[in-house]
Amino acid sequence: MATESAWQHLSENLYCFEDTCRVYAVVDGGEATLVDFGSGAVLDHLGEIGASRVRGILHTHQDRDQGQGDLRAANAGTPIYGPEHERHLFEHAELVWATKQTYNVYNVRNTYFSLTHDVPVAGSLEDFATLSHGCTDFTVLPTPGHSVGSLALLAEIDGRRVAFTGDLLFAPGKVQTMYDMQYNYGAVDGVEAAILSLANLTRCEPGLLCPSHGEPMWDPHGAIRETLEKLTSFYKLLSNGMMPAGEIDFVPVLPHVLAATYACSYFYVITSDSGKALLVDFGAPNLSLFSPAQIHFEPRERVRFVEHSLERLRTQYGVREIEAVLPSHYHDDHVNGIPYLQRQLGVQCWAYENMKEILENPRGELIGCVLPDPIRVHRTFHDGERLQWEGFEFTIHYTPGHADYHMGMFSAIDGHSVAFSGDNVFPLTGSTPSLIYRKHVHKTSHQQTARLYQQYAPDILCAGHDLQTEVAPTVYQRFAAKALQMTQLFEALLPGEANFGLEPSWVQIYPYQSLARSGDTLSLEVRITNFLDKPAEAQVELRLPAGWSCEPVGATVSIPGGKRGQQVFRVRIPAGYRFVYPRVALAADVTFDGRYLGQIAEAVVEKAS
Res 287: pLDDT? 81
Residue 1 pLDDT greater than 50, yes or no:
no
> Is residue 2 included in any domain, yes or no?
no
Provide the domain count of the chain. Answer: 3
Q: Given 493, 515, 532, which residue is the final one in a domain? A: 493
Q: Which helix (H) or strand (E) holds 344?
A: helix 338-345
Question: Are residues 457 and 545 located together in one domain of the fold?
Answer: no
Question: Are residues 374 and 407 located together in one domain of the fold?
Answer: yes
Q: CA–CA separation, 334 vs 420, rounded Å?
A: 13
Residue 2 pLDDT greater than 50, yes or no:
no
Segment among 3-12, 25-34, 405-414 with least mean pLDDT:
3-12
Question: Are residues 182 and 108 located together in one domain of the fold?
Answer: yes
Q: What is the pLDDT of residues 569-585, one digit of tens each?
A: 999 999 999 998 889 99
Residue 294 pLDDT greater than 60, yes or no:
no
Res 134: pLDDT? 87
Q: CA–CA separation, 72 vs 599, rounded Å?
A: 46
- Cβ atoms < 10 Å from Cβ of 271: 19
pTM of the shown model: 0.92
Domain assignment of residue 141, given as a range: 7-238
Q: CA–CA separation, 264 vs 291, rounded Å?
A: 9
Q: What is the CATH number of the domain that holds 117?
A: 3.60.15.10
Residue 34 pLDDT greater than 90, yes or no:
yes
- DSSP classification of residue 222: H
Query: CA angle, 336 as apex, 334 and 338 as ends, to 5°?
Result: 95
Averaged pLDDT of the chain: 94
Res 293: pLDDT? 56
Q: CA–CA separation, 396 vs 144, rounded Å?
A: 37
Contact between 197 and 228 (Cβ < 8 Å): no
> Is residue 1 included in any domain, yes or no?
no
Contact between 308 and 285 (Cβ < 8 Å): yes
> Is residue 500 included in any domain, yes or no?
no
Question: Are residues 306 and 367 located together in one domain of the fold?
Answer: yes
Question: Are residues 61 and 85 located together in one domain of the fold?
Answer: yes
Q: CA–CA separation, 101 vs 47, rounded Å?
A: 44
Query: Long-range contacts of range 355-362, CB-CB < 8 Å, 24 or more positions apart?
Result: 355/327, 355/329, 355/330, 355/380, 355/405, 355/407, 356/380, 358/330, 358/405, 359/327, 359/330, 359/335, 361/511
